Each structure stands twice: as C-alpha cells, then as structure tokens.
Amino acid sequence: MATSKQPQLLTISPIANDVWQGLTASPKYLPAKLFYDEVGSQLFEQITELPEYYLTRTERSILEQYAGEILEAAGASLTLVELGAGTAAKTCVLIEELLQRQPRALFYPIDVSPTALDEAVHQLGRRFPLLRVNPIVADYTAGVPALSRILGRKLVLYIGSSIGNFEPPQAIRLLRRIRQTLRPGDALLLGADFAKSPKILLPAYDDAQGVTAAFNRNILARLNRELEADFVPEAFEHVAVWNRRCSRMEIYLESTTAQTVFLPALDLDVSFQSGERIHTENSYKYTQAMIESILRESGFALEHSWSDRKQWFGVHLARV
C-alpha cells in the first residue's frame, strides 16, 4: 500500500528574527525582552531581593507609605488596571487600601504570561474576596484596545520601573497608546527610577553575588537552548556602565576572547573580537523634568509625584 508523504513542517523560533537582527548588526545587540524566559524571570525575582538592587523595595516602601494619598488623588470608584502585572504581588498594598475606600473593586491585570495571571487570580481571590479579577493575556507594549471597553473610572498602574527599559521615543509611543484607551478623569500611576550617583547605580546592576551577571549571561544560554547555538556563556563578561549623557545604565556581554559562535537554527556564524560587546539592555534613569516631559508628550498631565526620603525612586500620578 502506498503511504502518503507527510509534508515537513519547518518551525521557526519566535525569537529567531530578533536574534538574527541583533547579532548581524554593528555594534551587536540583543533585545532586553529576551532576558525573560523561565530561568531569566526567576533570576530577575532574585535580583529584586538583592541588597544592591534598591529599586523594588524603594518603590514598595513608597506605595506602602502613600497608598492612601495615591488613591485619594486618583479619585473615587476606581477600577484598577495593571500593565505587565505578573503575579500582581506588588499591587496588593494598593488593592488593600482601595477596598477600605469602596465596598468592592474590579482589577484587570495584563500580562503575556498566562501562568503568572493564573497565580494572580488565585492569590488575590484568596486574599480579597470582594475583588473581581479579570485577567487579560496580552503584550501591553502593542497597546491594549480592550481597555477602552472597560466602564467606570480607571487607574492604570505601570509600576516596577519597566518604562526605563524603553528608549524614550518608544516609551512615549507606548504611553500614547495607553492614553488613547482612556477617558477624561482616568489616571496613570507610573513608577520610575530617578537618576542618581553611579556609586549607587553601578552595584545595583553589577551585584557582589553575580546574580545580575547570571541574568545577563542567561540570554546566551537561552540562545543555546532555543536556537541550538554553541555560546560558552562564561566566555562573556557582564559589564554595567553608567552613561551620564543619556541618563541610563547600559548592560553588555563582553567577549573575553576572539571566538566564533554558530547558531544552526539561523544558519549563522557570529564572530567576536576579544573585548567586543553585545549590548543587552538600557535602563533609563529619569529626572523629574524628563518624567514631566514624557507624560506631557503622551497626552497626560502630571498631577502629583511621591518619592522616598533619598529621592531614589518616584511614583507619579498623571491624568488624562
């Protein structure tokens, strides 16, 4: 009996295009979103608890101290939306305060990870029976048109300093897209890291235990896993640089030797000179004037900013 030949399906990895673009560019780069596979997300969780990485705990302390003032300023009868919510662990302090002001509330956490959102629904459901959680699985960077269908006054949370990982024009484009889904009276709560001395910034991005270095090198291990590449991650050094002119931390992987890496899935050889770098991340550090400017350019008016005593981190409320 004749057997029919099955057509061979060629599966192209979803990261292939970005990797090809970045590693054939001059200078070489890899987009920071590639950090966040399962291993990278776990390493990032560890970073947030490092003594040198002040961002997460400083923002949390601001939210804890000022939750009442923030919600008072945002207005009555709020529906919460969170961009890149993950498991929404950092949002609990605001939800708790909100439920002291109104009998029940709606929360729309938005994230690309359905597992993180499942966890959010489970945890929040147990802790806050009067909170209705409607998760949205979406990449918020492309805009979330569904937001415009949510009735009532919205407070959109964009905390965690994620805005800092966008180039300023991209950040403005993203905020504009969000702005287009909101109505007059709605508000945005933006968490952003302030520019400060490199004495504080450099260790925050190059910690003594080497967790940030492992987070950075994991991008190469990921290319080995997903594109069958033969990177030796240890042959690249983690480098963190403060670029004062651009007001950003820059993160690189620097080749410690002359070497060639093969990526079979892309049929690509990539050669490195000794000391050549792959640029993997920018983390912008805002001044108050820069915050005012990106908000204004994206159609928001800054109403109030809260900070910690050392002015290391800012949480900003802006109105449509």
The type of residue at 27 is P
What is the distance between the alpha carbons of residues 105 and 167, in angstroms, rounded to a whole number?
A: 34
- Tokens 């560890």 appear where? 46
- Least Å distance, CB 178 to ligand AVI, is 17
Asked if 273 and 255 count as a contact pair (C-beta separation under 8 A), the reply is yes
What is the distance between the alpha carbons of residues 106 and 71, in angstroms, rounded to a whole number?
A: 14
Asked if 178 and 318 count as a contact pair (C-beta separation under 8 A), the reply is no
Which residue among 54, 168, 281, 294 contacts ligand AVI (CB under 6 A)?
Answer: 281
The DSSP bridge pattern shows strands 187-193 and 105-111 to be unpaired
Both tokens of 25, joined, read 């560019």
CA quadruple 169, 172, 176, 177: dihedral sign = positive
- Least Å distance, CB 265 to ligand AVI, is 26
**Residues touching ligand AVI, count (CB under 6 A):** 11
- Least Å distance, CB 188 to ligand AVI, is 17
Which residue among 165, 218, 255, 298 contacts ligand AVI (CB under 6 A)?
Answer: 165
Which residue among 22, 164, 233, 314 contacts ligand AVI (CB under 6 A)?
Answer: 164
Site string for ligand AVI, 132-161 (x = CB under 6 A): ----------------------------xx
- Tokens 């002291």 appear where? 100
Which residue among 79, 212, 218, 255 contacts ligand AVI (CB under 6 A)?
Answer: 212
Residue closer to ligand AVI (CB basis): 43 or 147 = 43
Residue closer to ligand AVI (CB basis): 126 or 199 = 199
What is the distance between the alpha carbons of residues 148 and 182, in angstroms, rounded to a whole number?
A: 6
Residue closer to ligand AVI (CB basis): 53 or 128 = 53
The DSSP letter of residue 273 is: -
Asked if 139 and 112 count as a contact pair (C-beta separation under 8 A), the reply is yes
* Beta bridge partners of residue 133, listed in sequence order: 107
Residue closer to ligand AVI (CB basis): 84 or 182 = 84
Both tokens of 185, joined, read 């009276």
Residue closer to ligand AVI (CB basis): 97 or 281 = 281
Q: 261 vs 14, 80, 224, 257, CA distance in Å?
A: 20, 46, 10, 12
Candidate segments 129-137, 162-170, 223-231, 312-320, binder of ligand AVI by CB under 6 A: 162-170
Residues 187-206 that bind ligand AVI (CB under 6 A): 205
Which residue among 23, 30, 43, 47 contacts ligand AVI (CB under 6 A)?
Answer: 47
Residue closer to ligand AVI (CB basis): 43 or 320 = 43
Residue closer to ligand AVI (CB basis): 54 or 272 = 54
Contact set with ligand AVI (CB under 6 A):
47, 55, 160-162, 164-165, 205, 212, 281, 283
